[in-house]
Amino acid sequence: MRSFWLLFLLFISSSKIIAQENSTFKNSEISTHYFYGYNLPHSNEIGHLITGKPHGFVFSWNKKTFGKEEWSRRFNYPDQGISFIHQDMANSNLGEMYGIYGHMNFYFFNRHLLFRVGEGVVFNTNPYHREKNFRNNAYGSRFLFSTAMLLNFSKKNIYKGFGVEAGALLVHYSNGNVKSPNTSTNSLLFNIGLTYNFDYDQPVEYIQKEKTKYSEPLHYNFVVRTGINEGEVVGMGQKPFLNLAVYADKRFTRSSTVQFGTEVFFSGMLKELIKIQSISYPEKNVTGEESSTRVGLFGGYQLSINKISVFTNLGYYVYYPFNFRSRSYVRLGIQRELPHNFFVNFSVHAHAANAESAAISFGYRL
């Protein structure tokens, strides 16, 4: 609780100091939230790590939009921002989290309901170690990927730019199986906080949305995905992988695109796992001659927000010579458009709730 009051005092003092340079922070807002809640037992494997009540704070900077760009009018004038999160996981084996996120705030119900989604990179203070911290089977590395979703009641500018917010926060931590173990954690947290708007004394004028129809012809995409991952056998080592994909997409509106295509997976991790199982696990009836290559068909949906988009794919392996987890899979990712029809994205390839790999992808849209 001491950290809460310290954060509160820092927030009040910083808002007053920064407000003196109001022109620098035009159309922006800062906020701070204290949270307290629960680590969710999503797997029996982490039951021994669910002990105390996690707590911490979020400090955020938000840049407001008023409809100057067409995309902001489509999404009801969202905020773009950066967040810093500190979370004590309330278990000495799990340690503490320090994370930086890029986020967007979306508003509903006359801008009194705020939904935030953020993606970030987090530093963990006490990851798995074979001798020093063997109980932490949730995080196999110090650096993790994280998704944070916040749903708050928001009342802005109650008094001279200060407002209040309260609601719920869901935070997921995982390294995408870059290094084992990677059981991951999910935290459900309840938060309360303050906001400060630097332009509270200025009238707000939104550019109104124009109703226009939009569609594009069929496009074809070529993607190369790569990265490193480690198998379920802790200590087997990180191996590179390569994924080649070709798919068609059809954009029906400025925001919505559907996809359908095929992809081939080359996995050094699976190749090593086949070798290990053929030698050490005779009950699995693995000969060691099985191919580690897989071929999948997938369909998906992409939601575009300015030059950033999020996408999800559901896939099925039509060529599946080695039984690894399941024949169905899912891919979740975030993508950034580049000049001349190129793009780059980051995605997680998973089977149900079990991540297989986190990939950096480069692509071209024809």
Instruction: Give, rounded to a whole angstrom, the gap between the first and last alpha carbons of the chain.
Output: 55
276 three-state secondary structure: helix
CA distance 54 to 86: 10
Up-side HSE of residue 279: CA atoms within 13 Å toward CB?
A: 6
Q: Which of 265, 206, 204 is closest to 239 using CA atoms? A: 265
Domain with CATH 2.40.160.20 in the chain: 2-197
CA dihedral 246, 356, 118, 343 (to 10 degrees): -20
Planar angle of CA 17, 18, 24, nearest 5 degrees: 150
Q: What gap in Å lies between CA 86 and CA 305, rounded to an integer?
A: 28
Q: What tokens were used for 67? A: 């409809």
**pLDDT tens per residue, range 323-360:** 999 999 999 999 999 999 999 999 999 998 789 999 99
**pLDDT recorded at residue 241:** 97
What CATH code is assigned to 2-197? Answer: 2.40.160.20
The whole-angstrom separation of Cα 149 and Cα 310 is: 14
| Identity of the residue numbered 39 | N
**Residue 117 tokens, joined:** 């989604």
How far apart, in whole angstroms, are the C-alpha atoms of residue 264 and residue 191? Answer: 43
pLDDT at 10: 55
- Reported as a single tens digit per residue, the pLDDT across 157-169 is 999 999 999 999 9
- Quickly count: other Cβ atoms within 10 Å of residue 231's Cβ: 24
Separation between Cα atoms, residue 291 and residue 275, nearest integer Å: 11
Task: Report which DSSP code applies to 110.
Answer: T
Separation CA 351–CA 138 (nearest Å): 17
Here the tokens at position 168 are: 């719920």
Quick check: 30 pLDDT over 60?
yes
Query: 318-353 burial, b if ≥16 CB within 10 A, otherwise e?
Result: eeeebebeeeebbbbbbbeeeeeeebebbbbbbeee
- What pLDDT was estimated at residue 319? 97
Per-residue model confidence (pLDDT) at position 231:
85
Q: What's the mean pLDDT in 223-245? A: 92
31-49 pLDDT, tens per residue? Answer: 999 999 999 998 888 999 9
Q: Is the dihedral of CA 125, 127, 133, 138 positive or negative?
A: positive
**Residue 31 and residue 15 in contact, taking contact as beta carbons nearer than 8 Å:** no
Residue 20: per-residue pLDDT: 53
The predicted structure's pLDDT at residue 21: 53
What's the CA gap between 355 and 318, in Å, rounded? 20
Best CA proximity match to 55, nearest among 191, 173, 215, 236: 191
Q: Is the pLDDT of residue 144 over 90?
A: yes
Distance (Å) of CA 84 to CA 58, 61, 92? 6, 9, 22
pLDDT band at residue 17, thresholds of 50, 70 and 90?
A: low
* Residue 26: predicted pLDDT: 80
Rg (CA), the chain: 23
Mean pLDDT of 224-236: 89
Residue 13 has pLDDT above 70, yes or no: no
- H/E/C letters for each residue in 251-268? ECCCCEEEEEEEEEEEEH
Q: What is the mean pLDDT of residues 238-248?
A: 97
Report which secondary-structure segment, H or E, holds 228.
strand 219-229
CATH architecture of 219-365: Beta Barrel (2.40)
